[in-house]
Amino acid sequence: MSTFEGKYGFVITATVLLVSSSRHPDRWIVPGGGMEPEEEPGVAAVREVCEEAGVKGTLGRLVGVFENQERKHRTYVYVLIVTEVLDDWEDSVNIGRKREWFKIEEAIKVLQCHKPVQASYFETLRQGYSANNGTPVVATTYSVSPQSSMSGIR
């Protein structure tokens, strides 16, 4: 019996989705927001990214939990494997929000000046990135604050 030994190589270019800020439309940010009362964390993350970025998909792994001690604020960052991109979505219709795909390195550069904490989400994602066959992903966030479960990030 003979065996065949093969070697395979491939390059994965991870792309991530950013949206325009509602406060500063010329700046890109990570889509996300706060939880509704009684809402499960994963459900909140999927809902927020659909509302803000107009994409649907499968919730992936937790990238990390980011604390802001000064604001007593905690942000959970998830990966969303995108399966559907909507032509029109809630924030595009209501506030003219835009979205754009970036390579992870480009997203880090874009966010570094005005949203360095959000840039760190992608640093963490890049360090722990596992192969997903080049499927576009979104880092979606939801935030929890001790004062209110409704607080968002921006």
Per-residue pLDDT of the chain (154 residues; tens, 9 = 90+): 444 444 444 444 578 899 999 999 999 999 988 888 898 878 888 999 999 999 998 888 888 878 777 877 778 788 888 899 999 999 999 999 999 999 989 999 999 999 988 888 888 877 765 444 444 455 555 454 433 222 233 2
pTM to 2 decimals? 0.73
Candidate list 51, 90, 100, 123, residue with the active-site label = 51
Q: How many alpha carbons fall within 13 Å on the CB side of residue 96?
A: 4
Longest dimension (CA), the chain: 68
Task: Map out the domains of the chain as residue ranges.
Answer: 5-131
Catalytic (active site) residue 106: no
CATH of domain 5-131: 3.90.79.10
Q: Are strands 73-85 and 99-103 parallel, antiparallel or unpaired?
A: unpaired
Any bridge partners for residue 78, and if so which?
62, 140
Q: How many alpha carbons fall within 13 Å on the CB side of residue 125?
A: 30
Q: Are strands 55-68 and 28-29 parallel, antiparallel or unpaired?
A: unpaired
